Amino acid sequence: MDIIEELRKCRERDIPYSRVLSSMCTVPHPVALKAHELFVETNLGDPGIFVGTRELEDRVIRLLGELLHNKECKGYISSGGTEANIQGIRSARNLKRVRNPNIVIPKSAHFSFEKIGDILGVEIRRADLDENYRVDTSKVEEMIDENTVAVVGIAGTTELGQVDDIKTLGELAMERDVFLHIDAAFGGLVLPFMNKKIPFDFEIDGVSSITVDPHKMGMATIPAGGILFRSEKFLRALEVETPYLTSKYQFTLTGTRPGTGVASTYAVLKHLGYDGMREIVQRCLKNTRILVEEMEMIGFEPVIEPVMNVVSFHCSEAERIKEELYRRRWVISTIRNPRAVRMVIMPHVSEEIIKEFVAELKQLLH
Ligand code: PLP
């Protein structure tokens, strides 16, 4: 068989995005694809060779920084939210050298923090949530001690799209002189474009670093995560010497890394501008409301009133329903506490898809 034919056959077995309501990734914007193609050979691990690509990364970081209220922030485009979270906490740990470091995270944190505990050798302290599934800031306060190197707040939780009270966490971080990392991997490119303003970024004093992923709501090509630091000192805490490269130091986690995410992120942000991004986010929010209405009509109740385009519905048989849907080539996910089915209304999830999905779910229930 011709190799390309073989590849095509494998690719055809993938489930198309039009049947996927579980993913925080989406079909890249057409302009992102063009940009990706142009930069497919680039390696930002050796920036003295890819001088133009490196400059573009500075511009991307500036654009993201502007959006998140800090033009002067420093950072880079990573392999995703996991790497960005690792690097945020690694910076915090390196800046405060203690024998038994710990971090305080919400119980709702993404599983990347499990890896962080393991890789960085930091104890993970999980703070309880309040009745709205936001971290209970008084519990966070109780858990901070002299070995706490960072506190984490989440702007757009993976399961419910909830946003922690970052303002109070910021005050706490200032009072206790501790690093505050915000995981806005998903929400970072949703919240700035919502009508309701929910503060979560560098405008809050005390926020030291932010994860914000263009390969989620930024419609960039994978891989494109982002880590932003309030100022250079946080980034410098990650430096290692690179004796045989065109650069002297490297602060990224990976060595060889693609410039495609940089180019595709830049292309989308510049092409759409804030107005274009707002339009897409608003459409996702409208479709989320449509999904909630449709689901309510067949007896489902959302766990919380959706804050953004992530929504979970109470469901005692969540696992069985997920599996039955998967057999019909629909992909949703589930959460365990409370037992619920979860959906993410990404730009590829249109009103028609929602209606088709709910009709099939209704059939399956009867
Ligand atoms: N943080 C949050 C809040 C997420 O929802 C995710 C992924 O869904 C991540 C981090 C990890 O991102 P990635 O899968 O790009 O490493």
pLDDT for res 244: 82
Nearest Cα residue to 309 out of 240, 217, 245, 243: 217
pLDDT for res 246: 83
User: Which residue's CA is minimally distant from atom 11 of ligand 1?
Assistant: 81
CB of 113 closer than 6 angstroms to any ligand 1 atom: no
Q: How far apart are CA 333 and CA 21, in angstroms?
A: 8
pLDDT for res 316: 96
pLDDT for res 349: 98
CB of 186 closer than 6 angstroms to any ligand 1 atom: yes
**Mean of pLDDT values over 296-311:** 98
Distance 156 CA to ligand 1 centre (A): 10
**Ligand 1 pocket mutation, candidates 20, 77, 78, 82, criterion most atoms within 8 A of CB:** 82
Using one digit for the tens of pLDDT, what is the confidence trace for 29-63? 999 999 999 999 999 999 999 999 999 999 999 99
pLDDT for res 366: 82
pLDDT for res 243: 86
User: Which residue's CA is minimally distant from atom 9 of ligand 1?
Assistant: 81
Q: Is 99 a residue whose pLDDT tops 80?
A: yes
pLDDT for res 151: 98
Q: Is 132 a residue whose pLDDT tops 80?
A: yes
The contacts of residue 160 (CB under 8 Å, 6+ apart) are 108, 133, 303, 304, 307, 310, 311, 312, 335, 342
CB of 158 closer than 6 angstroms to any ligand 1 atom: yes
Q: How far apart are CA 275 and CA 259, in angstroms?
A: 26
The two structure tokens encoding residue 151: 């506190």
Report the mean per-residue pLDDT for the chain: 97
Alpha helices (H) along the chain: 3-13, 30-38, 51-67, 81-95, 112-120, 137-143, 166-176, 232-236, 260-297, 318-327, 351-365
Domains within the chain, CATH numbers bracketed = 3-27+273-365 (3.90.1150.10), 31-269 (3.40.640.10)
Distance 110 CA to ligand 1 centre (A): 6
Model pTM score: 0.98
pLDDT for res 315: 97
Nearest Cα residue to 219 out of 20, 52, 38, 26: 26
Q: Is 83 a residue whose pLDDT tops 90?
A: yes
**Mean of pLDDT values over 268-281:** 98
Instruction: Answer yes or no: are the C-beta atoms of 211 and 225 closer than 8 Å.
Output: yes
Q: How far apart are CA 257 and CA 2, in angstroms?
A: 30
pLDDT for res 245: 81
Share of the chain above pLDDT 70, in %: 100
Q: How far apart are CA 18 and CA 20, in angstroms?
A: 6
In the chain, what is the straight-line distance between the N-terminal and C-terminal CA atoms, in Å?
45
**Mean of pLDDT values over 305-310:** 98
Using one digit for the tens of pLDDT, what is the confidence trace for 335-351? 999 999 999 999 999 99
pLDDT for res 155: 98
Distance 48 CA to ligand 1 centre (A): 30
